[in-house]
Amino acid sequence: MGSEMSGKSMVRRELLDTRRLLSPEDVREASLVLARHALELPELATARTVAAYVSVGREPGTRALLDALRARGVRVLLPVLLDDNDLEWAVYEGPDRLVPARRGLTEPAGRLLGHKAVLEADTVLLPGLAVDERGMRLGRGGGSYDRVLARLEAAGARPALVVLLYANEVVARVPEEPHDHPVHAVVTPEGVRRFAARPTA
C-alpha cells in the first residue's frame, strides 16, 4: 500500500502543477463547455436529485452547471466538510447562499441534512484529479469521497458516478487501492467518455 500511496502523491503533484498553469480565463471557458456537455448526459437529464460540489481555484468549474441544474428544477445537494473530513450535505439555494469555508472551500449556508442525504442522489458528481481508461478515479487524497462512496455501497445505492476533468487528466492508468471505486463517466471540455464501471455491491 505504501508504494501505491507514494505513486498517488507523485501523480497528484504533477496534475496539480499542470492545473496551476491555467489562467482564470481558461478555467472560465472550460467551465461553460463542461456544463454544456454535462447537461446532455442522460444521467443528469433525468435526475431529480444530484449530489455535486462547488469548484474552487483551478478545478474544472461547476458553478455554471449547478445553476443550470437548479434552473431545471433539480434538487442539488452540496457537501459541507466536517472536522473529521467526512461530509454532510445541504441543498444548493443559489450563488448568494454560498459561504467561504475551511481549507479554501465554498459551501452552502442552508440547513445540514446529514451524512445520508447523498443516498437520495440519482447522480453524484465527484471531484478528482484524473481518471483512467478503466474508470478508476484519482482524488486529492483527503478521503472524504472514499467515505461517501463506501456509504453508497453499504446502503446498496447505485447512483451514476460522474467526474468532471480537463482533457489531459484522462490518463492510461492511475494508482489504485482496494477501496477505490470506478466511475461511470468522465466529462471534459472535449466531450463525454463512458466506462463499464464494476458493480459496487
Q: Give all domains of the chain, ordered by start, each with its CATH number.
A: 2-194 (3.40.50.10420)
Residue 87, SS3 per DSSP: strand
134 assigned to a ligand binding site: no
137 assigned to a ligand binding site: yes
54 assigned to a ligand binding site: yes
50 assigned to a ligand binding site: no
Which cell is 37 given? 456537455
Each residue's pLDDT, cut to its tens digit, for the chain (201 residues) gives 444 556 788 889 999 999 999 999 999 999 999 999 999 999 999 999 999 999 999 999 999 999 999 999 999 999 999 999 999 999 999 999 999 998 899 999 999 999 999 999 999 999 999 999 999 999 988 889 999 999 999 999 999 999 999 999 999 999 888 778 899 999 999 999 999 754 443
11 assigned to a ligand binding site: yes
**Of the candidates 107, 145, 126, 113, the residue with the CA atom closest to the CA atom of residue 51:** 126
94 assigned to a ligand binding site: no
139 assigned to a ligand binding site: yes
For the question of whether the overall pTM of this predicted structure is more than 0.85, the answer is yes
Phi then psi for residue 42, to 5 deg, are: -55, -35
